[in-house]
A = this chain, B = another copy of it.
């Protein structure tokens, strides 16, 4: 039995580890386009900031670890075609690799927005997109140039925010430009506004409702580059920069699979069933290149490292003949921005509405621990439930980095996974000690607010009947 994975990031490596765990005799080859298998791309901002001293540390596992786990690595090997009927892949130079089962884990590529000049300017000019280790090395080269004073970051999603922090830590002046009304648009704007303030507190020049039109070479005095952006009132402004980072999201890298005849699904990602099978015989897909089964939404596209690990694990098991199903995502995610942490799981009001729920959302701001013990801080919380069923649908949190936000979001993530009602979350037996919590855990205080609102009849709906 020979299993091949295309891609050495989370999905491919998780598949290999799982297959080798289940069948130590399984022959598993991971074909990696570059020389950096199993690198944590989520860790790139912390290497750029200087917090991670050596780029090698970003590897989840070393080559030796991976080989000790029994997989064969084919590094610096670009796959040019999947010949699904023949059960083989073609690599650059024309060689082929036969397989019994194939796992496509080609990941995602950065979205390249329609900004004038972006087609012309590149890493050599100080203009960077960021996704791979190769991109990272190019960025680091730019950052080591002199003078290096001003950065413009286009985009204020997860990576944009982490890079703003990282470049501030390096001592750069940072301007962050976001087209939408608020930063971190994956949470409600009330919470995004807190992150916005944290950015300002840390010296980031934040420009929302501002669209970047062009990047041009600047004059030597002001900076090597000039970013021309237009604000909501239509007035254009130039932002000088020594480095420009464009991080406005990713799209699935499906070129190989599509050329081989794979059906595409949500957002153009490779369509897979919950066993991670594509429509091609014995071809699986997992991670950022594939659609995501969401427990509340069905098929969607929600690329996250946690999901890639889980999907890869499922694909690895099924490549050996298993029939495990990916249990589904809730879009649980967390980001640290300076001293604040923002997290979410499940659905926000408008997402729930679009999915035909009848959502009710409340705000709450319980303390992270008993107020009498020093250092208590409020957690800003937004909770969404479904009126007819009483189910908890989603929770969003923003709080201090010491307030346990990343693990607190995992309580509703586990509750929603188990389809708990808003009422039942109050029944959970959660831990309490005054320095670290409250007798009703903060999440329970939040859901009790939501339960009170759900208990009030919806007058508008009643009038409609």
Which residues of A are in contact with B by a Cβ distance under 8 Å? Answer: 10, 21, 40, 42-43, 46, 51-52, 57-58, 60, 295, 304-310, 313, 327-336, 341, 343, 345, 370-374, 401-402, 404-411, 413-415, 417-418, 420, 424, 426-437, 439-441, 452
Contacts and interface: CB of A to CB of B under 8 A. Distances in A.
B372 A58 contact: yes
Contacts of A295: 429
Contacts of A431: 306, 332-334, 343, 345, 406-407, 409-410, 413
Given A306-B429, A330-B429, A43 B417 contact: no
Contacts of A309: 439-440
Contacts of A331: 429
Which of A10, A330, A418, A435 counts the most B-chain CB atoms under 10 A from its CB? A435
B411 A327 contact: no
A306 B427 CA distance: 10
A372 B52 contact: yes
Which of A420, A430, A435, A440 counts the most B-chain CB atoms under 10 A from its CB? A430
Nearest to A328: B429
A415 B428 CA distance: 10
Contacts of A413: 428-431
Contact of A433 (B57, B328, B329, B406): B406
Nearest to A302: B429
A163 to B, nearest CB: 14
Contacts of A417: 427-429
Which of A334, A370, A407 counts the most B-chain CB atoms under 10 A from its CB? A407
Contacts of A336: 433, 435-436
A347 to B, nearest CB: 13
Contact of A373 (B46, B305, B372, B452): B46
Contacts of A372: 40, 43, 46, 52, 57-58
A306 B430 contact: yes
Contacts of A404: 404, 406-407
B407 A408 contact: yes
Given A413-B431, A432-B42, A432-B305, A51 B407 contact: no
A228 B408 CA distance: 46
A439 B332 contact: no
A206 B279 CA distance: 65
